[in-house]
Amino acid sequence: MLFTKPMKRNADFQRLYRSGAFCSLGGALLYAKPNQLPCNRLGITAGKKVGNAVMRNRAKRIIRAAYTAAEPMLPVGMDIVIVARNTLPQQNASILIERFCNRGVQHLQDVSSGKIPCQNPRQQKGNQKKDSPRKPQNPAGE
């Protein structure tokens, strides 16, 4: 990977989950946000829902192959996290590579140019419990 360094800190992953722009690639989710570095930083995750260790490692290898195939087309200066979904190990690797080269690259270029804002819409909704009116409490205990 020419212009890419690994992302290892949990805080970096959490920052992208909270405020990164995301895109579905079918068997994986892509989170992205511009950084101020002269290189990309890539993080790959595969949770236990993906399967046992063999399946998780296969999913990560497929994601790494898709990223390597698309890397020459990617903008430089991005933080990228790709999360494997539980359907990824059953898919053909060429499907994810094709989706990443088309949809993923376009998404990263849009985020890099500012066409897509880096705010996760799921986090913008207010907490329903805080927004709802409270029942008045009766201090007398009646």
**Torsion of Cα atoms, 129 then 134 then 135 then 139, to 10°:** 120
The CATH number for 38's domain is 3.30.230.10
In a domain, 131, yes or no: no
Residue 136 domain-assigned?
A: no
Amino acid letter for position 102: N
Per-residue pLDDT of the chain (142 residues; tens, 9 = 90+): 667 899 999 999 999 899 888 888 888 899 999 988 889 999 999 999 998 999 999 999 999 998 999 898 888 889 999 999 888 878 788 888 888 888 888 888 888 887 777 665 555 444 444 554 555 566 665 5
Establish if 140 belongs to a structural domain: no
Please indicate, yes or no, if residue 55 is contained in any of the structural domains. Answer: yes
Segments forming the whole domain that contains residue 9: 4-117
Which strand ranges, in their side-by-side order, compose the sheet holding 28-34? 4-6, 40-46, 78-84, 28-34, 21-24
Structural domain includes residue 65: yes
Residue 115 is predicted with a pLDDT of 78
Q: Is 89 helix (H, G, I), strand (E, B) or coil?
A: coil
Residue 9 lies in a domain: yes
Q: What pLDDT score was predicted for residue 121?
A: 53
**Distance between start and end Cα atoms, the chain:** 69
Q: What Å distances lie between residue 128 and 23, 56, 83, 113, 135, CA to CA?
A: 26, 35, 28, 34, 15
Task: Identify the pLDDT of residue 52.
Answer: 92
Give Cβ neighbours of residue 111 (< 8 Å, ≥ 6 apart). 21, 32, 33, 34, 78, 118
Residue at 132 is within a domain: no
> Quick check: is 130 in a domain?
no
Q: How many structural domains comprise the chain?
A: 1
